[in-house]
Amino acid sequence: MPKESFLQNRIKSVGYALKGMFLLLRTEPSIKIQFVIALAVTSLGFYFNISNTEWILQLLSIGLVMGVEGLNTAIEKICDYIQPDLDPKIGLIKDISAGAVMIVSVLASIVGLIIYIPKIF
């Protein structure tokens, strides 16, 4: 069987990534909530006509939160696969992973407040 070309391999990789993204959006409640919030703040961005810099910061914040949430989900799935029973060490790993999501979510919220509070008041 001939080896796939670089381009064919990249196209397959993008397909797998899209499959993972849609799987996350379909199956994970926290990503669904974050996606709705992302749509809401994107709508606010259009309503308040935010600057290019504000768009960049907002989009980076959304991407960071959703990306870290995806990694958190992957870590949780790996942990559950490795140790399906209750295990304090696995619990610690899951807590740390969830803590990373909390950190980026709080900071993304602060970015949102910095952008929108002056526009609202």
pTM: 0.88
Residue 114 Cα to chain centre, angstroms: 21
pLDDT (tens place) for every residue of the chain, 121 residues total: 678 889 999 999 999 999 999 999 999 999 999 999 999 999 999 999 999 999 999 999 999 999 999 999 999 999 999 999 999 999 999 999 999 999 999 999 999 999 999 999 9
Contacts of 111 (CB under 8 A, 6+ apart): 57, 58, 61
Q: What is the residue type of 101?
A: V
Are 100 and 49 contacting, i.e. CB atoms less than 8 angstroms apart? no
End-to-end CA separation in angstroms for the chain = 65
- 120: tokens are 């609202």
